[in-house]
Amino acid sequence: MSESESISKLRLALAGVLLFVSVAVFAVRFVHAGAYAMPTTGVMASGIGALVLGGLLLWPSLPRPLGMLAMIVSPLVMFLGLYATMAELEEVISIYATNSAGKTVDLRLWVVDREDGAWVGMPSAKAMEHSLDGARLEMLRGGQTQCVVPALYEDRPTVRAIHTLKVEKYAVARASGAIGLYPLEAKDTTVALRLDSCPGG
Quick: pLDDT tens for 123-133. Answer: 999 999 999 99
* 165 close to 114: Cβ distance less than 8 angstroms: yes
Domain ranges of the chain: 3-87, 93-197
> Is the confidence at residue 93, as pLDDT, over 90?
yes
Instruction: Please state, in angstroms and rounded to a whole number, the distance separating the CA atoms of residues 181 and 173.
Output: 9
CA 197 to chain centre: 25
140 three-state secondary structure: strand
**151-173 average pLDDT score:** 96
Count of beta carbons in the 10 Å neighbourhood of residue 190? 20
Per-residue pLDDT reduced to its tens digit, 8-40: 788 888 899 999 989 988 887 777 666 666 777
pLDDT value, residue 113? 97
pTM for the whole thing? 0.79
Name the nearest CA neighbour of 135 among 157, 120, 150.
150
pLDDT value, residue 33? 66
93-197 maps to which CATH number? Answer: 2.30.110.10
pLDDT value, residue 24? 87
